[in-house]
Structures are given as structure tokens and as C-alpha cells.
Amino acid sequence: MTPTFAAVGAAAAALALAASTVTCGGPPPTGLSAGVDRATVTARPAVAATAHPMTPTYAPPVDVPVTVVRAFEPPPAPWAAGHRGVDLAASDGAPVLAPGDGIVTFAGPVAGRPVVVVSHPDGLRSSLEPVVGSVPVGTSVTRGQVVGTLADVVTHCAPRQCVHWGVRDGETYLDPMSLLPIHGPVVLLPLDE
């Protein structure tokens, strides 16, 4: 299965993100040392394109390089099991960033974990957990602005620490990585290259 990413956003954001790296977790390919447990995803910058002025741009809610611990796994049916977001590696107390412009519409506990929700102008909602909010509900935020810090709680990423980034359009969950302005073919490379 080949990963694909939707082309969204302004050319400047695309070039900035394409210059960074994204890593994906998983077992090492056969023949690699046990210390190599993920691959680096890189993308070539796309030819500059003009984005619609109302099109919001998105960025990962953690600092680069971004390590994907667990990818989005849509459920086969709305009531079935799945992974309705993406887990991104982060360290205890790390700043968590607004993935896009919007308004903080929720900051508080959900099922015992602290959650921050940012509602974006395009109608999408980003949920970030376990994140202790640092801005009050109702605050307008911009992409990349700190909205909280990673909480020191055990999550399904254990023993690692991670930020779970979920995105909803109404009641439909979307792959958050599809919102990132990565263009061109995605190439997986071993970390030691």
C-alpha cells in the first residue's frame, strides 16, 4: 500500500514542510539492525501553486521532525474499531501546536485524559490528546501557536509518549496526515542513510 497525502495549502507551507522529515513507526525491514525501527518519509517540493485565499493550511501539532508512531486506520463501519487519528511522538511536557488557524472550542478532560479541540474555519475540528490546554476556550489561535503541553499520562503509545491528533468533519473522521501540504511522491528511506 502506497501512502498518499492530499495537496492542501499555500506553496510556502508546502516548501517548508517538504524540507522537513516525517518518520513512521513499525518493525525494521528484514536485514536492518534492531536499532532501526522506523523509516523517514521525505517529499519533493511541488511546483508553486496558488491556493484559494480561504483555504486553511495545516501543519503537524508537534515540532519537526515528526515521527508517526501509529497511522490513521479508519473503521470499516462507524461503530467498529479503528484508529481515528494519528499518533505523533513527543516528549513529556512538549509544546503542542495548533495544527491550523481556528478557535479553541474545548479544553478539559475526556474519559480521564486532557483534550484540546480547535475548530477550524473550513468546518474541520482537530482534537489533541493527552494535552493540557494553555489557552482559554474561545481563544483564536493561528497555525503553529502553542495551545498546550503533552500531559504525563500513560496512553496506548506506551512506553513511548505521543500526541493523538484526530480530525473530524461533522461526525466523519479524516486522516490528519491528508491535510498536510506534502507534494510529490513519498519515498521511504532507512534512518541511517
- What's the CA gap between 38 and 19, in Å, rounded? 19
Write the CB contacts of 160 (distance below 8 Å, at least 6 apart in sequence): 69, 89
pTM of the model: 0.67
Q: What is the mean pLDDT, run by run of 10 residues, along the chain of 193 residues?
A: 32 36 41 33 31 64 90 85 89 94 97 95 96 97 97 84 94 91 58 58
**Given this model, what pLDDT does residue 108 score?**
96
Helix (H, G, I), strand (E, B) or coil at 71: coil
**Given this model, what pLDDT does residue 191 score?**
63
Helix (H, G, I), strand (E, B) or coil at 128: strand
- What's the CA gap between 36 and 155, in Å, rounded? 23
**Given this model, what pLDDT does residue 55 score?**
52
